[in-house]
Structure 1
Amino acid sequence: MSCLERIEKAFERIEQGGLNTYITLNREGAVERAREIDRSKSEEGRLSGVPIAIKDAITTKGIRTTCASRMLEDYIPPYDAHVIECLLREGAIIIGKTNMDEFSMGTSTETSYFGPTLNPHDRTRVPGGSSGGSAATVAAGEVRLALGSDTGGSIRCPASFCGVVGLKPTYGLVSRYGLIAYANSLEQIGPIGRTVPDVALLLDVISSPDPRDSTQIGSAGGYLDNLTPALEGMRIAVPCEFFGDGIDPAVERAVWDMIHRAEELGATYSEVSIPSVEYALAAYYIIAMSEASSNLARFDGLRYGLRLKDEGNWHATFSKIRAEGFGEEVKRRILLGTYALSAGYYGRYYLKALKVRRMIKEEFDRILSDFDLIFTPTMPFTAFKLGEKINDPLSLYLADVNTVPVNLAGLPSISIPAGYSGGLPIGLQIIGGYFEEQKILNASYALFEDGEDERGFS
């Protein structure tokens, strides 16, 4: 099959799928690049001719990038994000920009200005968020690889709900240059794929050093070359707080089955306690909303973004543009973040949240000094119905209870399929030490690839 035929088949699958996985399709650019590859008959690059989906929060030169918001409905960036430059150097073809929660704020991809994405396993349910389009397009077989971003679980949640593999790298491993910011101190770009080797390959490509991001360390890569099923002798911590009230019994059983499977493969486990995670959700949302309040102040409609015809004085225009350009969830988080940062409340909320964050990091460090990995459920339940929680923000925030502690600590974490309940995927979360992505990938490879057929994954 020629590269052009492969790309055309991908577009055909997307159009026939009807899942609303994409906001913008890069049909002309993808076809032109495929023809160039076919003409040159070149296989240079580890991703030569491979179609890849990109979350719409990652800037792509000449391709509309909206963050799923009316505010940026017609924004076309003049530059590529670092990760996009890396993909293009390796011969990848950008197939399109995937749907997401507006400005990455959500757990279901229902806050998108362009409508919700549907879960490929059950079209009446959400795919998770905020990188829901990226996970759903991989799960549906439209593409094999995608990029997402993860601020509080936005890669791992949809990976769990859609039954694919999603990795949140260590904070600082992958450059954030070109990622439209929600909460700078928490977010990372990461890979989503159908298999662990897919994710390892994509991490190899996107983790190269970038001097434009001063928080990035970068990596020499080698994740795919060094990928081997390895759990023999591993010490696994199982924190009891992640199996508390609200967890679906089917999810708990599936995760424990995977823990016992790890035992069979030579690992040992012990139940532990991380008491400070009780405060993780509160600390996370104060920090994330405060950073969002600052980051989204730039969207005033004057330099770029939404412009309205009936403009008055600057203050009235600024207020109206933001009122009409942002969705309800984004406005809610900006308001709460502004309140937390306001005079008289900074110390009471934001500063206290930073202290809790430090406690959480220290407790994870303590656990990981005695253990190699931490196993938890990715999400406490399977994908919920469309519309079930969207009008109850608190219940949506509570859904992130198992993922946000990892972002607060800056640790790497992966979600891999752990089974099904009622036809809906369940995810196992594996957390490792800083820059120990290789260890996480090897353990995931042992669990997910070994015995894959007998557990019914495809």
Structure 2
Amino acid sequence: MNQIIQLSATELAAKLRAGEITSVEAVQAHLDRIAEIDGGERGVHAFLHVNTDEALAVAAEVDAIRAAGGAEAEALHPLAGVPIAIKDLIVTKGQPTTAASKMLEGWMSPYDATVISKIRAAKLPMLGKTNLDEFAMGSSTEHSAYGPTRNPWDLDRIPGGSGGGSAAAVASFEAPLALGTDTGGSIRQPGAVTGTVGVKPTYGGVSRYGAIAMASSLDQIGPVARTVLDSAYLHELIGGHDPADSTSLNEQVPALIAAAEQGATGDMTGVRVGVIKELQGEGYEAGVQARFDESLEALRAAGAEIVEVSCPNFKYALAAYYLIMPSEVSSNLAKFDGVRFGTRVLPEEGPLTIERVMGATRAAGFGEEVKRRIILGTYALSAGYYDAYYGSAQKVRTLIQRDFDAAFALADVLISPTSPNVAFELGSKIDDPLSMYLNDVATIPANMAGIPGITVPGGLSEGLPVGIQFLAPAREDARLYRVGAALEKLLEDSWGGRLLDQAPELSATTTGGVA
């Protein structure tokens, strides 16, 4: 494996600044890796589109600026020249944005999302667009209209969802950084099962302008990376107020890099860590619980005060989420009717009425999971049922927020396993949506309350990654980076290196790709 692609984003950035590697070399190394392992019958399939020409052009521009020196070179962003992958739910001018749906097949956005504008301004070469569950609806990236993504740790297992493409790209060394979106855990849950770091920022902390909406009150763009420090650099870059997003917080981005650097000492003295009683134990695999317990002991040994907190209304979070989210899905996806937006499919026979065109278009353009959630949401919002379902779910949401308030009065951060299980086998739950939904049980409460969360690698169970989740109060994202970096340091010291160093070697021979 090319040593360039094994570098973390910050390690690569340092070598670019020192002139030890050119950005063109770095981008080409990652493009070669994508060509080697992403395609084929058993390829990782993290990417739906590879942005070769533009990525190399941006890299060449960065190299030219650095070679010329002077003020322009000094003004380059620390991550300039470091390649990045983009979840195909975030609109990107010049590249197709499909949301992994036939409804948007081949669509080219006429504008950039705000986060993409920031990526372009910082001159990070975009390697391409990554796979996801269609319109971000799923927990396994098996609901993509273009086929599933595979977990680099075991190609017969899922990489999590809906952002499995971004997590798999980072875990398989196809990209050092990626952007994802998190509605109920779609950055953190894939991070947990692929051994990567994923962050859901405070709601409104990163602009959602240009992210195709699934559930507007829950969606949040965030970073996917191999280390906590890498995530901090990317988070600071994409964060901040955006007038184009009415939900954007009009505040400065917290000092996330400094917090991660402070945490990297491993010192947790004076930090109160709250163990959420309801997010452990029954329903969590034995190996997941064991790695979680070991993480608690490592934090305690580093000086943290471990306290137990109870959030009794969390037991209703999953049910409430699966009423609020489909209701917002039903509203947001109403525009994809073959008349205003989306592909157009004409009925095979009969008159060409709007209703018949809409029916034919949605039947062909949407997958089964999307249809399921639209129907559920439309029912929950219908006359006579709104108060009983959607209205009641919103009341539960308030109770969850109050549980968090009470818990944060006792602890600086909260901790839980990120997912109750390791990655399951492809196809094993595709026909059992209720079982699939349970994978998000630990991540959903943060989205319901709008608070930030991070997952860091917590070790292995039966050879597969386990994730440890930290949660912090709204606007206190810096706390996550401090404790996340501390646990990362403590565990990596015990392992003798990064968890991804223990991942199986992938090559064209194992994936069926073209070297």
Distance in 1, matches of 2:89 and 2:209, equals 11
Equivalent residue number for residue 20 of structure 1: 45
In the alignment of these two chains, the number of paired residues is 458
Residue by residue over 1:153-210, the C-alpha shift from the partner in whole angstroms, topping out at 9 and shown as x without a partner, is 0000000000010000111111100010000001100001000100000010010221
The aligned amino acid for 2:61 is: E
Equivalent residue number for residue 137 of structure 1: 169
Give 1:222's match in structure 2, choosing from 249, 255, 260.
Answer: 255
Query: Which SS does the other structure have where 2:406 is aligned?
Result: helix
Equivalent residue number for residue 174 of structure 1: 206
Query: Which SS does the other structure have where 1:370 is aligned?
Result: coil
1:45 aligns with 2:45: no
Give 2:421's match in structure 1, choosing from 356, 381, 389.
Answer: 381
Q: Is the CA contact (8 Å cut-off) linking 1:208 and 1:221 kept in structure 2? A: no
Distance in 1, matches of 2:162 and 2:448, equals 17
Structure 1 residues 391 and 168, CA, compared in 2 at 3 Å: closer, same or farther?
A: same
Equivalent residue number for residue 159 of structure 1: 191
Tell me whether 138-147 or 220-229 shows the greater mean CA deviation: 220-229
- Matches for 1:63-212 after TM superposition, within 5 Å: 63-212=95-244
Equivalent residue number for residue 252 of structure 1: 289
Equivalent residue number for residue 317 of structure 1: 357
Distance in 2, matches of 1:309 and 1:356, equals 42
Q: Per-residue deviation at 1:273?
A: 1.5
Equivalent residue number for residue 332 of structure 1: 372
Q: Is the CA contact (8 Å cut-off) linking 1:205 and 1:221 kept in structure 2? A: no
Give 2:316's match in structure 1, choosing from 262, 266, 279.
Answer: 279
Tell me whether 231-240 or 69-78 shows the greater mean CA deviation: 231-240
Distance in 1, matches of 2:29 and 2:276, equals 44
Q: Per-residue deviation at 1:310?
A: 5.1
Percent identity among equivalent residues? Answer: 48
Query: Which SS does the other structure have where 1:426 is aligned?
Result: strand
Q: Is the CA contact (8 Å cut-off) linking 1:52 and 1:146 kept in structure 2? A: yes
Q: Per-residue deviation at 1:91?
A: 1.4
Q: Per-residue deviation at 1:427?
A: 0.3
The aligned amino acid for 1:354 is: Q
Query: Which SS does the other structure have where 1:151 is aligned?
Result: coil
Distance in 2, matches of 1:15 and 1:341, equals 46
Q: TM-score when scaled to structure 1?
A: 0.98
Q: Per-residue deviation at 1:47?
A: 1.8
Q: Is the CA contact (8 Å cut-off) linking 1:46 and 1:91 kept in structure 2? A: no
Q: TM-score when scaled to structure 2?
A: 0.87
Give 2:342's match in structure 1, choosing from 272, 283, 305.
Answer: 305
Q: Is the CA contact (8 Å cut-off) linking 1:290 and 1:337 kept in structure 2? A: yes
Q: Per-residue deviation at 1:37?
A: 2.2
Q: Per-residue deviation at 1:445?
A: 0.7
Q: Per-residue deviation at 1:35?
A: 2.2
Distance in 2, matches of 1:318 and 1:451, equals 53
For structure 2, which runs of at least 5 residues remain unmatched after alignment?
Answer: 1-20, 38-42, 68-72, 502-515
Q: Is the CA contact (8 Å cut-off) linking 1:281 and 1:404 kept in structure 2? A: yes
The aligned amino acid for 2:232 is: A
Give 2:451's match in structure 1, choosing from 396, 404, 411.
Answer: 411
Equivalent residue number for residue 6 of structure 1: 26
Q: Is the CA contact (8 Å cut-off) linking 2:203 and 2:451 kept in structure 1? A: yes
Equivalent residue number for residue 233 of structure 1: 270
Q: Is the CA contact (8 Å cut-off) linking 2:95 and 2:109 kept in structure 1? A: yes
Structure 1 residues 26 and 102, CA, compared in 2 at 3 Å: closer, same or farther?
A: same
Distance in 1, matches of 2:159 and 2:284, equals 18
1:36 aligns with 2:61: yes
Distance in 2, matches of 1:58 and 1:224, equals 24
Distance in 2, matches of 1:289 and 1:58, equals 20
Q: Is the CA contact (8 Å cut-off) linking 1:57 and 1:103 kept in structure 2? A: yes
Q: Is the CA contact (8 Å cut-off) linking 2:233 and 2:257 kept in structure 1? A: yes
Query: Which SS does the other structure have where 2:256 is aligned?
Result: coil
Q: Per-residue deviation at 1:306?
A: 1.1
1:289 aligns with 2:303: no
For structure 1, which runs of at least 5 residues remain unmatched after alignment?
Answer: none
The aligned amino acid for 1:16 is: E
